[in-house]
Structure 1
Amino acid sequence: MSQHEKADTTISEDVKIPANTTAMGDEETGLKHIDTLHDDEAVKVLAAYHGDQSWTTMEEQKLRRKIDWKLLPVLCGTYSLLYYDKAMLGQAALFGLRKDLELTTGNRYSFSSAIFYLGFIAGAYPAVVLAQRYPIERVASAITTVWGITLIVTPACTTYQGLYAQRFFLGFTEAGISPMFMLIVGGFYRKNEQALRMGVWYSCTGYVSIFSPLVNYGLGHIRGSLSPWRYMYIFAGAITILWGIAILFILPPDPIRAKGFTERERFIAVSRMRENNSGVRNTHFKGNQAIELLFDYKFWFMFSIAFLCMVANGPISTFIPIIINGFGFSLLNSLLLLMPAGFYAGTLQLVAPYLAYRYKNIRTYLVFACQMGTVLASLLLWLLPLGQTGALLFACYILPSVGGGYAVLMGLSLANTAGYTKRSLASSGLYIGYCLGNFVGPLVFKPKDAPRYEHGFVVVVATAIAAAVLAIVYRFICIWENNRRDKTGTLEGFEHAYEDDLTDKTGGTDVRWDNNDQSTGPRSTATNTSSHNILEQLFKIEHTKAGTKGPLFNWIETYLSFMTGMEVHGGETRSQSREQGAYQVTLKNKIIAGMQMFYDCRRPGSKSDLNLSVTGANQGIGLALAEVFLLNGAEYVYSLDVSPPDSQLESLQALFPGQLKYIRADITDEKCVSQAIETIVAETSRLDGLVANAGVTAHKAALDFSRDDIDNLFNINLTVDWTVPSAPYGATKAALRSIAKTVAMEWAEHGIRVNTVSPGFIKTELSAHVANDPDWTNKMKYWRGMPRLGLPQELGGAYTYLLSDAASYTTGIDIPIHGSVGAW
């Protein structure tokens, strides 16, 4: 190492949790205390684990693959059966069901399809309550078995009223499957991983339509004592009952109770979920979260989109077989011609979520595009002559485009909702919109309009266009929300929402919403910030008499003038003997020149490809420093942090692929830190610099500190700083700068430089409240300090200098950056 830097009293760092307790943040003190109220089981797992609390990326990838292989086959199998059973009506209609049950009169057939979704609505809420209060695998098994029984007794129906009852109860029993699956996926996967996984199991609604016509084609050839459609229902019911029993033994309910995982794998699986701020499982139903959801207008936008886009979905399974048969094909061939539609629907429902996972900020665009596919298909079926069979079949095949948009919509809803109860109800609410759309859809297709169904396709076109427009409006609403919250400086989120089971609105601060993704929801899955926007934040504009300059740019200008005899003018570096020029330069040019001046500070031929480590760099000051180092040519920056990486770190990683790395490390554990350092050296062969940045503070009078408070402060703020470089020395926080000077003298002969940076009040979640504190305001006036909090990026200049070769003869100094009033 060439140096060790200290950010004095900077950002909050998670501390180790005593066994059998739950840690939560104290809004007044910033310290942690014991929580026995919320009782999220994930926190108990974290508290009980005493092994190595860091893990490698490879280890996490291996675990994720294991989860995929254990979970996704069960979800896919169940959802395939769900859609196979639900869509049985349309295929059975070709083999005598309508005639046998007197469904050819009026809208009876349409209503037999629609009533399924009334049962779906009625069953959604009870299913979610059961899933929250009882083991979810038992609830899923019971539901699947009961719906199989409902199917297998369908041949006993002899009137349309009996079929109505069967369809309603079938919808009632199936209602809980999709919301429960969303909860299970949310408990195993990070936000940015969820959309793809949900797309995998949701795509089965399409792919099963490849195989179900083949099965029913064979059953349609049976000439027994029963009508062919009755054999179809008996077969479907039998395999569903068997699968329902199997679910009890093979469905992994959550990382805590899933079978086949080691203690360490379970710990990593639970720890990965902390960034979701939604918990893994919480058995308490929270009425305040239900009320909050009721008044959340973003939820109602999602609800409306789901309803409108599903109006087109209602007639797909119910009427497409009949429409294709109306083109002149035989009953059996009409079944076979359904297969391309199933392949298209399944592939789109898989590809759309993958694109949302692979590319940021496109989810609402994907929803829009899928609606346009359905609009095109509806217009073709409405307007083309019946003789153009090929074009009409093509339209039938792309009509299910709406399903791809809905698969993306599910992931968007999950990413933008926190709090276990709120997320559960939001999932159910989305499915109520889904059900209402599917209820209305079949009813607008009148028998008298056959075979063109002009009136029905007019409604489909109108609702699909409306859904597409609402998706774009939702996007801009989220952009507006995010920009508003950016301006208020409330991006830090709610770091203890995971333990406290807080929602996206009650986590202590406003949060970012996913407009896409703009990804996310509570600290949304990732805003795709460009490097230009990051630089704009780094050199935040201030209007002064000298011109429009950023605070960091001003600091560089002053430093260069003092150190090199150079003056900086309007984005250019020129010697003092050259002609002075007016300060007129664009922000872009100023930024580029400003970044280059960091390099100009260094000796000719010096290296800029440093390997650096920053503790607590997943957010706040640490993340801002990592950004500055990378912008100034660092080869690698490692974040040592106990918290899993969230959308902020992942956004920066996307801008610097392979350069910003995360190692989970509890900095209060000396062994854990040593292992992290060894990992860095093993990967890069060296560590050129380290910033001991992590720290905590408590906002109360000194006499109010308990012994535990004091021990915690000293452990994080002082002891840890010497654990990291393995030089135990020192006594108190106040003596830290003196200790640094002493160690600087001891290590100078080894070429190691030790310096400190002392930030004042920097705008992070930890200290944002002081801006409204009258005592702080009076103190700033007394000391004639700057009347604002500092920004994390404004510390970057000092760190960049100390880590550069320009500071090769600088050691044992402290750089105070506090607007004239320090935080010590």
Structure 2
Amino acid sequence: MAVTTILAAVDKNIIGNTAILGILQDTNISKNQFSLVGSLFFIGYLVFEWPMAILIQRFPVGKLLAVTVLGWGILAMCTAAVHNMAGLSVVRFLMGGLEAIVYPTNSILTVMWWTRSEQPVRTAIWFNTISTAFTGIVSYAIGLTNTGVARWRLLFLVIGGFTVIWACLLWVFLPDSPVSSSQLSDREKWVAIQRVKDNNTGVEDVKFKWYQVRELLVDPKTWLLVIFAAAQNVPNGGISSFSGLIVSGFGFNTLQSILINLPTGVIGTTFQILLSIPSAKFKGYRCFIIACANLVPLVCAVLLWQLPRDNRHGLLASYLCFWTYFTPYVLSTSLPMANTSGHTKKVAMNALWFIAYSLGNILGPQAFRAKDAPNYTAGFTGLLVCVVVAIAAISMYGVLCRQENSKRDRETRHTEVDHQVETSEAFNDLTDKEKPSFRYVY
């Protein structure tokens, strides 16, 4: 799951480095058109999110994931053959559509295999930002080459080739569920299922139940999560697409800009793993920790907006620390699944969650306009506003979850610690609203 996420992010974010490796000149596109290319990936993600949710409902998740990974690996290699805006737009749109399956399937697999207390750390590991370091190393190595192939084209060929090989490995080794795993004995399968019984989120059911969708749509907690996911990902769309241009705007050359972006993934992943530990350990503080984690990118956005442009070291330090922005989103990724029961409801929640993710990433590149280069002060102002909105949304979500748990405790006369989950209830395809013993994570 971690390697799949890394390759998905690499194939997605590699466009940022190609901007300083000659793709703008070779395809004759402007910086404003490049912003559109950055958004088109996530428009494809948005358009395909619901169809992918239906496919997840109908087909084994492991095999489905392997096929789509193969598809976007081939498309990444095809990107090396484009010569104009039209070709680049089509390929990026289709790549976004195929990658729409990655995070929903990983989220579902996380709930299948790990308990609620284990999910934050596991999610922080597979939902990492190491991809920027991997992309940077490969980009730098290719930047030193002198072949007959344009460097940005060679970059797509290499990364796409890695992805195709990984898809074949997924087909062979990734199980669709604990029950179908060929690597587990019958006893181990039974243990794996019993371990996650207290998650109380139901089991897979291929029958689509519309009442579960309606229940989801009228719940205010749903829309607070949607607002949070959209706002939190505006920085992701902007920074990932314009990373190379932003750093070069500080006064660094092409290879220096690539090298400077190398530690960003390490910084982000280290921060999210460190915060995932207290998030898992301290019950009832996850939303609070997520809100506090956003204070770092909040301060960095202010500095990137206000610092004088000749203060290269201050701008660079703020830029590098801003890459902790993805930590709050990673810590929150387990919330939609942990707090949703009923298979149809989980699939629908996953779709909404990643539609919001797509919307944020679509809007992000549009905040960085050509007329604002190289300072992009308007872009950093927009990122600041989005971080504030994300803090407000996740805080209110935590309050509503706490209130609902308290109400259920009073009604059932059980405490959160003592309430028992019956096996029949845990594995029935019932929603969280239909289960008196269900308690929300916040």
For the aligned pair, the TM-score class normalised by the smaller chain equals over 0.9
CA displacement, residues 402-427 of structure 1 (integer Å, 9 cap, x when unaligned): 21100111122222111122112212
What are the equivalent positions in structure 2 for 1:127-526 lying under 5 Å apart? 127-203=52-128, 206-489=129-412, 491=414, 495=422, 496-507=424-435, 509=436, 511-514=438-441, 516=442
Deviation of residue 433 (structure 1)?
0.8
Amino acid at match of 1:86: K
* CA distance in 2: counterparts of 1:493 and 1:295, whole angstroms: 28
Count, aligned residues: 437
CA displacement, residues 380-420 of structure 1 (integer Å, 9 cap, x when unaligned): 11111122211111111111222110011112222211112
Aligned partner (choices 98, 122, 134) of residue 24 of structure 2: 98
Are the equivalent residues in 2 in contact too, given 1:110–1:445 (CA < 8 A)?
yes
* CA distance in 1: counterparts of 2:400 and 2:62, whole angstroms: 37
* CA distance in 2: counterparts of 1:487 and 1:277, whole angstroms: 20
* CA distance in 1: counterparts of 2:62 and 2:404, whole angstroms: 38
Aligned partner (choices 30, 43, 53) of residue 118 of structure 1: 43
Are the equivalent residues in 2 in contact too, given 1:349–1:404 (CA < 8 A)?
yes
Identity in percent: 29
* CA distance in 2: counterparts of 1:429 and 1:280, whole angstroms: 20
* CA distance in 1: counterparts of 2:397 and 2:63, whole angstroms: 37
Cα 1:438–1:493 change in 2 (3 A) is: farther
* CA distance in 1: counterparts of 2:113 and 2:25, whole angstroms: 47
Are the equivalent residues in 2 in contact too, given 1:273–1:279 (CA < 8 A)?
no
* CA distance in 1: counterparts of 2:275 and 2:392, whole angstroms: 18
Amino acid at match of 2:142: L
CA displacement, residues 763-806 of structure 1 (integer Å, 9 cap, x when unaligned): xxxxxxxxxxxxxxxxxxxxxxxxxxxxxxxxxxxxxxxxxxxx
Amino acid at match of 2:167: G
Cα 1:512–1:291 change in 2 (3 A) is: same
CA displacement, residues 479-535 of structure 1 (integer Å, 9 cap, x when unaligned): 22222333333655873333321010123x374322x2xxxxxxxxxxxxxxxxxxx
CA displacement, residues 414-466 of structure 1 (integer Å, 9 cap, x when unaligned): 22111122112212211111110111011011111111111111111111111
Greater strand share, 1 or 2? Answer: 1
Amino acid at match of 1:513: Y
Deviation of residue 239 (structure 1)?
1.1
* CA distance in 2: counterparts of 1:175 and 1:265, whole angstroms: 32
Greater helix share, 1 or 2? Answer: 2
* CA distance in 1: counterparts of 2:112 and 2:438, whole angstroms: 21
Deviation of residue 202 (structure 1)?
0.6
Are the equivalent residues in 1 in contact too, given 2:221–2:397 (CA < 8 A)?
yes
Gaps of 5+ in 1: 1-74, 517-824
* CA distance in 1: counterparts of 2:413 and 2:425, whole angstroms: 15
* CA distance in 2: counterparts of 1:364 and 1:187, whole angstroms: 23
Aligned residue for 2:55, secondary structure, equals helix
* CA distance in 2: counterparts of 1:493 and 1:99, whole angstroms: 63
Amino acid at match of 2:48: G
Aligned residue for 2:130, secondary structure, equals helix
What are the equivalent positions in structure 2 for 1:657-696 lying under 5 Å apart? none
TM-score (norm. length: structure 1): 0.52
Query: Which residue is equivalent to 2:4?
Result: 78
Gaps of 5+ in 2: none
Are the equivalent residues in 2 in contact too, given 1:312–1:374 (CA < 8 A)?
no
